Amino acid sequence: MTLTNKTAIITGGAGGIGRATVHRYVRDGAKVLVADLDLAAAQSVVNEVEADGHAGTAVAHAVDVSDFSQVEQMVQAAVDAFGGVDVIFNNAGIAGGKPLLEHDIEADYHRMIRIDQDGVYYGILAAGRQMAKQGRGGVIINTSSVYGLDAAELSFTYSAAKAAVISFTRSAAYELAEHGIRSVAITPGRVATPIINQFSDELKQTFAAEQMRGRLTDPDEIADVVAFLGSDESRVINGTVVNVEDGYSVFKQRLELPEF
Ligand SMILES: NC(=O)c1ccc[n+]([C@@H]2O[C@H](COP(=O)([O-])OP(=O)(O)OC[C@H]3O[C@@H](n4cnc5c(N)ncnc54)[C@H](O)[C@@H]3O)[C@@H](O)[C@H]2O)c1
Residue 174's SS3 state is helix
Rg (CA), the chain: 18
Q: How confident is residue 1, by pLDDT bands cut at 50, 70 and 90? A: low
Q: Is 258 in the pocket of ligand 1 (CB under 6 A)?
A: no
Pocket test for ligand 1, best of 120, 195, 244 (most atoms within 8 A of CB): 195
Compute the distance between CA of residue 189 and CA of residue 53 in angstroms, rounded to an integer: 32
Q: Which pLDDT score, from 0 to 100, does residue 226 have?
A: 98
Q: How confident is residue 140, by pLDDT bands cut at 50, 70 and 90? A: very high
What would the pLDDT profile of 163-179 be if each residue is shown by its tens digit? 999 999 999 999 999 99
Residue 217's SS3 state is strand
Indicate the helix (H) or strand (E) that contains 72. Answer: helix 68-82
What would the pLDDT profile of 114-125 be if each residue is shown by its tens digit? 999 999 999 999
Task: Residue 63: count other Cβ atoms within 10 Å of its Cβ.
Answer: 27
What would the pLDDT profile of 16-75 be if each residue is shown by its tens digit? 999 999 999 999 999 999 999 999 999 999 999 999 999 999 999 999 999 999 999 999
Domain ranges of the chain: 7-193+219-243
The mean pLDDT value of the chain amounts to 97
**Residue of minimum CA distance from atom 30 in ligand 1:** 64
Q: Is 123 in the pocket of ligand 1 (CB under 6 A)?
A: no
Q: Is 65 in the pocket of ligand 1 (CB under 6 A)?
A: yes
**Cα 208 → chain centroid:** 20
The model's pTM is 0.98
Compute the distance between CA of residue 154 and CA of residue 98 in angstroms, rounded to an integer: 5
Compute the distance between CA of residue 4 and CA of residue 194 in angstroms, rounded to an integer: 30
∠ Cα 122 3 70 (to 5°)? 20
Q: Which pLDDT score, from 0 to 100, does residue 156 have?
A: 98
Q: Is 230 in the pocket of ligand 1 (CB under 6 A)?
A: no
Task: Phi first, then psi: give them for residue 49, nearest 5 degrees.
Answer: -60, -45
Is the per-residue pLDDT at 252 higher than 90? Answer: no
Look up the CATH number of domain 7-193+219-243: 3.40.50.720
